[in-house]
């Protein structure tokens, strides 16, 4: 599950009113310093001519509205083109997971681990090209916080859940990306919740039903933005990085580019602002639009604010002379 889901599902529902008020005060303060001058001149909010956010019913969400509504938006419209956000895709998956598992809350899934049914938290999931849902990693014990290597395949049509191949690296909160050829890129995540970020990636091939190593990230990270560009390269934007125990880490501005055929990552420059879990959509000339993302205010609690700005990223290798 994404950073957004971690802090807007059970956690946000159970947060007391005083904490919400504190978060609002943090938001007002942080917006003066996170570089939103283009959207907030003199600290005043205004809508943006090039960017808008839509909810699940395609109703527009005000850029000046609640930060969690923006973070959970189903679609963004940039320069007149509509893109589904990770939260929008997640909403569709969650609806199917509820039907498959007969559960009203899918923050925990009951899955087969070592031959026994166990509740799994902090897993990652994504829709395959054939309609099945690929689920990987997570934890089964909030005390030990030991991540899993297991994967599962859930079929919304038959409502069957079958084990998939094991990952080579145990992880929770991994980032997943469906490539144009139908494979699933598995990258980053954590070796345990709040215990630092991972820098290894793997690939799941649904045709052969196997998982294999797919190179190392230049910067270990959890909750980056990930998208495949028109030229086939994958860019990994921002995220949380760090290996300090009991801390979520700090946001990074670094961006790296994955050459898929070569299985090689390389640093490709920086975005202007530090962000975790930004919305990243492909743009013309193999560029990307990077929208929003979180800034963690408190490393121990994970309390965060969502940035209301955007920027266009173009890697050094793609820049014209």
Which domains can be identified in the chain, with CATH numbers? 3-318 (2.120.10)
Which pLDDT tens digit goes with each residue over 7-22?
444 333 333 233 333 3
Which pLDDT value is given to residue 241?
A: 87
Helix (DSSP H) and strand (DSSP E) numbers for the chain = 5, 25
Which pLDDT value is given to residue 302?
A: 61
Which pLDDT value is given to residue 235?
A: 96
Which pLDDT value is given to residue 284?
A: 86
**Model pTM?**
0.84
Q: Which of 148, 235, 135 minimizes the C-alpha distance to 190?
A: 148
3-state SS, residue 51:
strand
Are the C-beta atoms of 123 and 135 separated by less than 8 Å? yes
Q: Which residues of 214-233 are buried (b: 16+ CB within 10 A; e: fewer)?
A: bbebbbbbbbbbbbbbeeeb
CA angle 30, 311, 83 (to 5 degrees): 110
Half-sphere exposure of 184 (CA within 13 A, CB side): 29
Cα(68)–Cα(88) distance, integer angstroms: 13
Cα(142)–Cα(155) distance, integer angstroms: 28
Helix (H), strand (E) at residue 267: strand 264-270
Residue 237 burial (10 A CB sphere; 0-12, 13-18, 19+): buried
Which pLDDT tens digit goes with each residue over 251-283?
899 999 999 999 999 999 999 999 999 999 999
Cα(297)–Cα(288) distance, integer angstroms: 26
Which residues, given as ranges, of the chain have pLDDT below 70?
1-45, 104, 142-144, 193-195, 243-249, 298-302, 316-321
């Amino acid at each position: 599950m994404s950073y957004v889901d971690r802090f807007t599902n059970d956690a946000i529902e159970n947060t007391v009113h005083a904490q919400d008020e504190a978060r609002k005060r943090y938001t007002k303060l942080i917006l003066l310093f996170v570089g939103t001058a283009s959207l907030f001149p003199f600290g005043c909010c205004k809508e943006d001519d090039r960017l808008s956010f839509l909810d699940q019913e395609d109703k527009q969400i005000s850029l000046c509205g609640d930060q969690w509504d923006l973070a959970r938006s189903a679609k963004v419209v940039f320069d007149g083109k509509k893109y589904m956000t990770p939260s929008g895709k997640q909403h569709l998956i969650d609806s199917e997971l509820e039907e498959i598992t007969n559960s009203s809350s899918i923050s925990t899934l009951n899955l087969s681990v070592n031959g026994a049914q166990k509740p799994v938290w902090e897993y990652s999931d994504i829709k395959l090209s054939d309609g099945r849902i690929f689920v990987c990693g997570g934890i089964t014990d909030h005390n030990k916080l030991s991540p899993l290597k297991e994967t599962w395949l859930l079929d919304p049509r038959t409502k069957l859940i079958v084990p998939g191949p094991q990952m080579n690296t145990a992880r929770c909160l991994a980032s997943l990306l469906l490539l144009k050829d139908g494979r699933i890129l598995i990258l980053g995540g954590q070796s345990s919740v709040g215990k630092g970020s991972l820098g290894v990636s793997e690939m799941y091939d649904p045709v052969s039903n196997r998982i294999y190593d797919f190179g190392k990230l230049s910067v270990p990270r959890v909750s980056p933005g990930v998208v495949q560009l028109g030229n086939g390269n994958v860019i990994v934007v921002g995220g949380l990085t760090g290996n300090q125990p009991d801390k979520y880490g700090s946001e990074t501005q670094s961006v790296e580019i994955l050459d898929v055929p070569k299985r090689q990552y390389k640093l490709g420059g920086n975005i202007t602002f530090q962000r975790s879990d930004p919305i990243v959509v492909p743009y013309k000339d193999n560029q990307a639009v990077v929208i929003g993302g979180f800034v963690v205010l408190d490393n121990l609690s994970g309390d965060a604010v969502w940035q209301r700005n955007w920027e266009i990223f173009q890697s050094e290798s793609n820049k014209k002379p």
